[in-house]
Structure 1
Amino acid sequence: MNIPKPGGSVRGSKSGKPIMALFDLLGRNWSMTIMWYLKEGQKSFSDLEKKCDGISPTTLNTRLKELQTTFIIEKVVDGYKLTELGEELFNLFEPLRKWANKWAKNFN
């Protein structure tokens, strides 16, 4: 498993810059969706599998391992939850969401 980490080459960049590693991680299929559902609270593997309608168990397992290895989520007794770092990251999405909505108006 090739997990994007700061300091290394990632998809789309060989710079090693932390932001590029983060964009690679978040740009992977289902990563943001998993985070979105974990923002609601702790979820089991089967809860996430149901919420991420269409995700294969293999892909879900891979994304969970990547997000754990990169300190965004953590495994707990009954499933998974965002770490403090993951919560902080998720809260940074709100200004981006607002900007994206403003940007989307250009396409109407």
Structure 2
Amino acid sequence: MSTASDWQRTWHSLRDLLGAKWSVHVLRRLSTGACGFNELKRELDGITATMLSRRLKELECHGLVDRSVAPTTPPTTTYRLTPRGRRFAAVLEEMESLVEAVDCDRPAERTCVGTDRRCLTVRSRGE
């Protein structure tokens, strides 16, 4: 049985992994298929080579991304999701669907404000 501290540790680890800038973008792109470093950099508009390299190394370290180098001249490096990475990508897709459903279910007269995203009811002047 897991304790509250185990649960918190798990969520902190998940937040650190997926909360790192560009991690989710890299995972989502690789969920569509393997590709090379330059292709990733081109498709992830705004990411620097240094940041992409850092994120790929972190995701590889966590067992989410596999890096393979073909013995060509120059060497060709390909990145793809591992089975564990594909599970993460599937969860991310489901989370996106849930967020879209919540946004669609929110009545038009309600809006989320502030950093805690509280929903407030906006009333018309006649009410």
Coarse TM-score class (shorter-chain normalised): 0.7 to 0.9
Which of structures 1 and 2 has the bigger CA Rg?
2
Aligned position for 1:93: 92
Query: What is the percentage of aligned positions where both structures have the same residue?
Result: 29
More helix by share: 1
- Structure 1: which 5+ residue stretches go unaligned? 1-14
**Could you tell me how far 1:86 is from its partner in structure 2?**
0.4
Matched, 1:44 2:43: no
- Structure 2: which 5+ residue stretches go unaligned? 1-6, 70-76, 109-127
Whole-angstrom distance in 2 between the partners of 1:61 and 1:107: 42
- Let me know the Cα RMSD of the aligned residues: 1.8
| Alignment TM-score, normalising by the size of structure 2 | 0.67
* Equivalences, count: 94
Deviations 1:37-66 (A, max 9, x none): 111111100010000111111100110111
Whole-angstrom distance in 2 between the partners of 1:101 and 1:62: 30
Q: Which runs of 4+ in 1 moved over 6 A?
A: none
More strand by share: 2
**Could you tell me how far 1:107 is from its partner in structure 2?**
7.1
